[in-house]
């Protein structure tokens, strides 16, 4: 079905996305059966697939396809000295204010009325700095030397492995380190679904350069970030660059550009690009021997940072479409084939015809499943219902095995976006799909 595109930017888009995510097994509220835990979400089968595809795409572009990038997967728990040196113990805080009447807490910098509680109208108290790191104790001793933190950014896991990486690989400047992993922030007011959580994932790069070249690298990485956003299917008309003012920059940054996205709840940060100077390496007392020039320097750092969860949310918001044909509305996710959780669904036209089921299973489903993994078997309900179901989770192709297949060894491949159907030879299916993914 290819009909008139309607209502893509409706006001209840967030509700539709949240509901689709739960109903179709992408994302569930954390600890839901015990009443939920604010700022924590659990990922279901299709959500994990979508998230993994986005992460793999990122890793391929920024690590595997480059000669100058070194991957890291550091421990989440690190010694407290790491966070003291990095400035997070002293300064990783948001301004917090409490209502004197209902005791509700707010991010002071996000309030329109700084004096009156938005919930009960009570008087707001004085603003205090609230450190967002989750503190924990490592080991049984329980004294202050056992204090550790769940990392609030993946970046430090790379800086503390700078020397190890240089010693192991002897990279020449400029070069980068990259990491994908969990980060934790005790946000005062988690909100807006995946946008502001207390546990989330980051994909970060620390790119080490000579100080005199930082501006050129900064511009280069801006372009790379935009390219990647386009590659995973973000609606680029909704992406905006913001030059972050000095007062709003993180303590380590001398220049920051935020990439903002037009979410249904406003224009807000999606990803960021920071010039961290040599703040972190200096703080950890690390340096680099440039053998060609026989000099020791402390390289400067350009940091492109991507939130995985905000990427997933922006991809879903960009992909969500509704169209209408013959009075019927269908909703579908126009996900790129390389990102979609399921690349194709295989259906025997009728599930009570053993010859169709047998053919579909052995000659189509099994070989495609072995090749691509992301292949679904769908024989529930009539074909129209199966198409709707697959459209909703963004499956680009539905393959139907009918009675003609038994004689001509061809199947019908139906395109999610246009509704157009093509007859493809079974022997050509793998090639056909490979071309679509690439």
Nearer Cβ to ligand ATP (235/269): 269
How many residues contact ligand ATP, by CB under 6 A? 14
Count the Cβ atoms, other than its own, within 10 Å of residue 20: 20
Q: Does 272 bind ligand ATP (CB under 6 A)?
A: yes
Among 196, 336, 363, 386, binds ligand ATP (CB under 6 A): 196
Q: Does 287 bind ligand ATP (CB under 6 A)?
A: no
Among 269, 290, 322, 415, binds ligand ATP (CB under 6 A): 269
Nearer Cβ to ligand ATP (80/156): 156
Structure-block tokens of residue 184: 């934790």
Q: Does 176 bind ligand ATP (CB under 6 A)?
A: no
Among 305, 338, 390, 410, binds ligand ATP (CB under 6 A): 305
Among 98, 187, 280, 378, binds ligand ATP (CB under 6 A): 187
**In the bound complex, what is the minimum distance in angstroms from residue 202's beta carbon to ligand ATP?**
5
Beta pairing partners, 274: 256, 303
Nearer Cβ to ligand ATP (196/414): 196
Closest-by-Cβ residue to ligand ATP is: 307
Rg (CA), the chain: 25
Stretch that binds ligand ATP, among 97-105, 137-145, 209-217, 269-277 (CB under 6 A): 269-277
**In the bound complex, what is the minimum distance in angstroms from residue 250's beta carbon to ligand ATP?**
6
Cα-based distances in Å from 52 to 43, 60, 179, 227: 11, 12, 14, 19
3-state secondary structure of 85: helix
Q: Does 206 bind ligand ATP (CB under 6 A)?
A: no
**In the bound complex, what is the minimum distance in angstroms from residue 428's beta carbon to ligand ATP?**
41
Q: Does 303 bind ligand ATP (CB under 6 A)?
A: no
Sheet of strand 134-137, all strands in order from the earlier edge strand to the far edge: 77-79, 147-150, 134-137
Which alpha helices (H) appear in 106-161, and where do they start and end? 155-159
Among 131, 179, 197, 412, binds ligand ATP (CB under 6 A): 197
Beta pairing partners, 356: none
Whose CA is closest to 197, among 184, 208, 207, 209? 184
Count the Cβ atoms, other than its own, within 10 Å of residue 80: 18
Among 26, 43, 162, 200, binds ligand ATP (CB under 6 A): 200
Among 271, 275, 332, 387, binds ligand ATP (CB under 6 A): 271
Which alpha helices (H) appear in 284-415, and where do they start and end? 308-319, 354-359, 366-372, 383-393, 403-408
Q: Which residue has the tokens 């320097």?
A: 297
**In the bound complex, what is the minimum distance in angstroms from residue 204's beta carbon to ligand ATP?**
7
Q: What is the DSSP letter of 60?
A: I
Whose CA is closest to 79, among 182, 6, 177, 151? 151
Nearer Cβ to ligand ATP (310/386): 310
**Phi and psi (nearest 5°) for 32?**
-60, -40
**In the bound complex, what is the minimum distance in angstroms from residue 69's beta carbon to ligand ATP?**
19
Whose CA is closest to 416, among 349, 343, 358? 343
Which residues in this chain contact ligand ATP in the complex, by CB under 6 A?
153, 185, 187, 196-197, 200, 202, 269, 271-272, 305, 307, 309-310
């Amino acid at each position: 079905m290819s009909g008139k595109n309607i209502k893509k930017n409706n006001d209840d888009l967030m509700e539709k996305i949240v509901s689709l995510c739960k109903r179709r097994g992408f994302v569930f509220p954390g600890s839901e059966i015990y009443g939920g835990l604010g700022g924590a979400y659990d990922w279901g089968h299709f959500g994990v697939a979508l998230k993994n595809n986005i992460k793999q795409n990122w890793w391929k572009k920024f690590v595997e396809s480059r000669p100058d990038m070194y991957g890291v997967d550091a421990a989440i728990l690190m010694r407290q000295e790491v966070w003291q040196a990095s400035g997070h113990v002293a300064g990783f805080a948001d301004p917090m204010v409490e209502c004197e009447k209902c005791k509700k807490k707010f991010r002071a910098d996000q309030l329109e009325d700084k004096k009156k509680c938005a919930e009960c109208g009570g008087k707001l108290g004085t603003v205090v700095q609230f450190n967002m790191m989750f503190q924990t104790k490592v080991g049984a001793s329980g004294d202050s030397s056992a204090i550790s933190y769940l990392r609030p950014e993946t970046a430090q896991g790379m800086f503390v492995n700078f020397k190890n990486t240089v010693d192991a690989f002897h990279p020449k400047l400029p070069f980068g380190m990259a990491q994908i992993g969990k980060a934790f922030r005790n946000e005062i007011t988690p909100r807006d679904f995946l946008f502001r959580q207390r546990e989330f994932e980051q994909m970060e790069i620390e790119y080490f350069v000579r100080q005199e070249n930082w501006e050129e690298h900064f511009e280069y990485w801006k372009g790379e970030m935009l390219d990647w956003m386009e590659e995973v299917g973000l609606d680029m008309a909704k992406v905006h660059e913001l030059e972050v003012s000095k007062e709003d920059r993180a303590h380590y940054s001398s220049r920051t550009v935020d990439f903002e996205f037009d979410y249904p709840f406003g224009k807000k940060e999606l990803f960021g690009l920071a010039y961290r100077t040599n703040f972190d390496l200096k703080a950890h007392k690390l340096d680099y021997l440039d053998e060609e020039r026989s000099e020791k320097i402390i390289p400067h750092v350009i940091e492109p940072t991507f939130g995985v969860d905000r990427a997933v949310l922006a991809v879903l918001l960009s992909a969500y479409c509704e169209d209408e044909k013959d009075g019927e509305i269908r909703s579908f996710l126009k996900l790129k084939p390389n990102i979609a959780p399921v690349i194709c669904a295989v259906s025997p036209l009728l599930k009570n015809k053993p010859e169709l089921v047998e053919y579909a299973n052995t000659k189509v489903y099994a070989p495609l499943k072995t090749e691509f993994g992301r292949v679904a078997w769908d024989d529930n309900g009539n074909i129209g219902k199966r198409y709707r179901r697959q459209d909703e989770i963004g499956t680009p192709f539905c393959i139907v095995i009918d009675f003609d297949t038994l004689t001509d060894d061809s199947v019908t491949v139906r395109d999610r976006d246009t509704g157009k159907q093509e007859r493809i030879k079974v022997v050509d299916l793998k090639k056909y799909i490979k071309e679509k993914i690439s």
